[in-house]
């Protein structure tokens, strides 16, 4: 069977229209399950050299990067959400992406900016440096909700980089999503903070220990095996 990097390259060569096919087939064709089995059950030398890096993202989930292609800018990640956690802020991304629900359920809300003045604050957020995000205030604004979707296990969706959204873990069970990102389309993301948000312009995503990540990945492997 192909490795995750080989699978990722196959879809990256097809372009961003293949993102949702990638996130679905990585699960349906067994690539993710085999990757986790080899990582967790394989030789200890493989465990030491190939173990992924993970961060506790400020938006309430642990972000674990499984594979990436530097020449295409594509990557595969797992997002493991804490129970009843939610994004802190409305935000966009620097790349198109697709996401598939592996366990639990997720609510996504999408938004538009409606005015250049209002009770919300618009920031630009540069890529993180060793888990640290820096926000640069732009101006006040106003927003309106334009959609609200509930995703159950097996559901997938794709989003453009410019889409403003928030997500919520809508279950008391563990919520896990597989996330495939495409090539970078912007040098920063847009973050919209509400009137009661923390004004701190620096946000830290602490790095997880290998022991913590191994425990999370074993849990994810078990969830996938149970279907």
Please write the tens of the pLDDT for every residue from 14-55. 999 999 999 999 999 999 999 999 999 877 645 556 789 899
Do 11 and 67 form a contact (C-beta atoms < 8 A)?
A: no
- What's the pLDDT score for residue 126? 84
State the Cα torsion 175-180-184-188 to the nearest 10°.
Answer: 0
Collapse the DSSP code of 158 into the 3-class scheme (helix H, G, I; strand E, B; otherwise coil) and give the result: strand
The interaxial angle of helices 210-226 and 31-41, nearest 10 deg, is 140
How many whole angstroms from its chain centre is CA 22? 15
Q: What span, in angstroms and rounded, lies between the C-alpha atoms of 86 and 177?
A: 14
pTM of the predicted model as reported, rounded to 2 decimal places: 0.90
Average pLDDT, the chain: 89
Q: What is the pLDDT of residues 101-113, one digit of tens each?
A: 999 999 999 999 9
Q: What span, in angstroms and rounded, lies between the C-alpha atoms of 201 and 220?
A: 33
- What's the pLDDT score for residue 194? 83
Structurally, how many domains does the chain consist of?
1
Q: Residue 191: give its domain's CATH number.
A: 2.60.120.10
Q: What is the pLDDT of residues 69-128, one digit of tens each?
A: 999 999 999 999 887 777 778 999 999 999 999 999 999 999 999 988 899 999 998 877
pLDDT at 178 exceeding the cut of 90 = yes
- What's the pLDDT score for residue 201? 60
- What's the pLDDT score for residue 27? 96
Give the confidence band of 159 by pLDDT, cuts at 50, 70, 90: very high
How many whole angstroms from its chain centre is CA 167? 10
Q: What span, in angstroms and rounded, lies between the C-alpha atoms of 147 and 44?
A: 46
Do 145 and 12 form a contact (C-beta atoms < 8 A)?
A: no
- What's the pLDDT score for residue 2? 84
Three-state SS string over 127-156 comes to CCECCEEEEEEEEEEEEEEEEEEEECCCCE
- What's the pLDDT score for residue 20? 97
Partners of 113 in beta bridges: 143
Q: What span, in angstroms and rounded, lies between the C-alpha atoms of 213 and 198?
A: 29
- For residue 212, what are its two tokens? 């913590």
25 burial class (0-12, 13-18, 19+ CB within 10 angstroms)?
Answer: middle
Domain span at residue 113 reads: 4-226
């Amino acid at each position: 069977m192909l490795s995750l990097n080989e699978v990722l390259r196959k879809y990256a060569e097809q372009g961003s229209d293949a993102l949702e096919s990638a996130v679905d087939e990585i699960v349906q064709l067994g690539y993710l399950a085999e990757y986790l089995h080899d990582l967790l059950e394989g030789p200890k030398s493989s465990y030491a050299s190939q173990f992924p890096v993970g961060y506790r993202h400020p938006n309430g989930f642990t972000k674990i990067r499984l594979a990436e292609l530097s020449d295409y800018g594509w990557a595969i990640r797992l997002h493991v959400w804490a129970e009843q956690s939610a994004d802190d802020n409305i935000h966009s991304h620097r790349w198109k992406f697709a996401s598939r629900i592996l366990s639990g359920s997720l609510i996504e809300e999408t938004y538009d900016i409606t005015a250049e003045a209002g009770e919300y604050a618009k920031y630009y957020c540069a890529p993180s440096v060793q888990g640290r995000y820096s926000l640069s205030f732009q101006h006040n604004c106003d927003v309106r909700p334009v959609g609200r979707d509930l995703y159950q296990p097996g559901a997938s969706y794709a989003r453009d980089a410019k889409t403003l959204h928030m997500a919520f873990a809508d279950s008391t069970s563990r919520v896990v999503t597989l996330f495939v990102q495409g090539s970078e389309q912007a040098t920063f993301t847009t973050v919209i903070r509400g009137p009661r948000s923390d004004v701190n312009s620096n946000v830290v995503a602490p790095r997880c220990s290998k022991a913590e990540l191994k425990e999370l990945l074993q849990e994810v492997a078990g969830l996938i095996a149970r279907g």
